[in-house]
Amino acid sequence: MYSWIWQRIPFKQWQLKALVSGVLVLGVGALLWYQVFPAVEPILPFDDVQVETNDPGADITVESPGPSAAPSKPPAATSVPTGTKPPAVLPS
């Protein structure tokens, strides 16, 4: 097939034939990438992922605890006096 394409390219110099064949390859790749693959993607099973396990403990679900009551103590006040800059943090 490749020799048939190479022989049908209408140039005598191999550099021009190589350039034309490269453009053909890029064209076919772009056609596949932008037209064919998006058209067949909905029927391919790439998003149908199922993980199966034989672990008997896999059926256990852990329930998160409910919200707690009111906070036990009020939030602590900041130790930086008003009107002063906090200390700068030096990079390590």
* Inside any domain, residue 33: yes
Torsion over CA: 9, 14, 19, 23 (sign): positive
pTM above 0.75, yes or no: no
Is position 23 within any domain? yes
Residue 49 lies in a domain: no
Residue 7 structure tokens: 């022989």
Q: Is residue 28 part of a domain?
A: yes
Q: Is position 64 within any domain?
A: no
Q: At 26, which amino acid appears?
A: L
Does residue 56 sit within a domain?
no
Structure tokens at 90: 């030096």
One digit per residue, the tens of pLDDT, for the chain of length 92 reads 788 888 888 888 999 999 999 999 999 999 999 999 999 988 888 777 777 767 666 666 666 666 666 656 666 665 656 666 766 777 76
